[in-house]
Amino acid sequence: MSALPKYRQMDYARFDFRISNGLGSYLEPDWDDPGLGVEFYDSQGILRFTANQTSSPPLVSGSDRQGIFLALEGINLENFALGVCDARLSCRVNAEQVLPCPTVMEAFQVIPDSGTEPVYTTASKVKSELPAEIPAQLTDPVIEQYIFDASRKIDAGLSGLYPTPFPGIEQNPATPGLIERLCRKLALSESLIFLGTLNQMELNPLLEERAMAELDRIRKGELRIAGFEPNLSVYQGMILPEENTGDYLD
């Protein structure tokens, strides 16, 4: 299994898991089960978020080379206490309750913001792709904040799959090229949105959507980051639809 992902309270967490049949295959839950959902409790035992198909973010299914998995992308951690958070899963497969109910597993760890997180591109690289005349309101500090936010979004998306954070753009060796490009696209997208707001026009050509699709391809193993080996697993937990399953299965 992968290491427990670590997120800061300013981050948006990801959680994913599989339902195994115990024979090497993975199952989808009964999506029409009204009890299908995942509750997230912080380190103080307080329920902070309940996920289902209609929550924000919603519980969705996906697949990779190993098979089906279920995932949540973008859990707001602002109110989560620092420490390890538990996920409590309830679901049915072929109308049979997956036991124990709920199945409890460690989901992720919320850690303090150190204030020294690396960033993966530079303001000059972002500005080189912006229109020639940049209004005074789009200052370097504004772009640098977009870069910081983009860097943390990448960390959140790949935490548990790759060792994050990656080296910063000013370090030696520097940020991997694929990660720098993704960060630049995300920061550029926010900069274009900013410009569009100033000029009351649309200047964001789906850059964020394309960058997030590329990030998803990395997560699925379709793209590899040169010089970095991914962890063995792209999912955090596995549950078995059997009565003798222990409480903690991660």
**What are the pLDDT digits (tens) for 34-82?**
999 999 999 999 999 999 999 999 999 988 878 899 999 889 998 999 9
- Specify whether domain 6-113+232-239 bears CATH 2.60.40: yes
Out of 38-47, 159-168, 194-203, 207-216, pick the least confident.
Answer: 194-203
- Provide the pLDDT for residue 114: 64
Task: Summarize the confidence of residues 125-133 as an average pLDDT.
Answer: 87
> Over 50: is that where the pLDDT of 14 sits?
yes
Q: What would the DSSP string read from start to end of the chain?
A: -PPPPEEETTSEEEEEEEEE-SSS-EE---TT-TT-EEEEE-TTS-EEEEE-TTSSSPPEEEEETTEEEEEEEEEE-TTPPSEEEEEEEE-EETTEEPSSSSEEEEEEEEE---S----SS-HHHHHTTS-SS--TTS-HHHHHHHHHHHHHHHHHHHBTTB-SSPPPTTSSS---HHHHHHHHHHHHHHHHHHHHHHHTS----SHHHHHHHHHHHHHTTSS--TT-PPPS-S-SEEE-SSTT--SB--
**pLDDT band, residue 232 (cuts 50/70/90):** low
Buried b (16+ CB within 10 A) or exposed e, 38-63: bbbbbeeeeebbebbeeeebebeeee
The pLDDT value recorded for residue 243 is 46
pLDDT at 15 over 70: yes
**Residue linked to tokens 């899963």:** 89
The tens digit of pLDDT for each residue in 132-190 reads 778 788 888 889 989 999 999 999 888 878 888 899 999 988 999 999 999 999 999 98
If we measure between CA atoms, which residue out of 179, 128, 124 comes closest to residue 153?
179
Q: How high is the pLDDT of residue 156?
A: 85
At residue 244, the pLDDT reads 44
Residue span(s) of the chain under CATH 2.60.40 come to 6-113+232-239
pLDDT at 237 exceeding the cut of 70: no
Q: Is the pLDDT of residue 89 over 60?
A: yes
CA 108, 112, 113, 119: dihedral to nearest 10 degrees? -40
Higher per-residue confidence, 241 vs 36: 36
Residue count of the chain, please give it. Answer: 250
How many Å apart are CA 6 and CA 223, to the nearest integer? 23
Give this prediction's pTM: 0.58
State the pLDDT at residue 245.
Answer: 43
What is the chain's mean pLDDT, rounded? Answer: 84
Other beta carbons less than 10 A from residue 78's beta carbon: 9
What local confidence, expressed as pLDDT, does residue 122 receive? 95
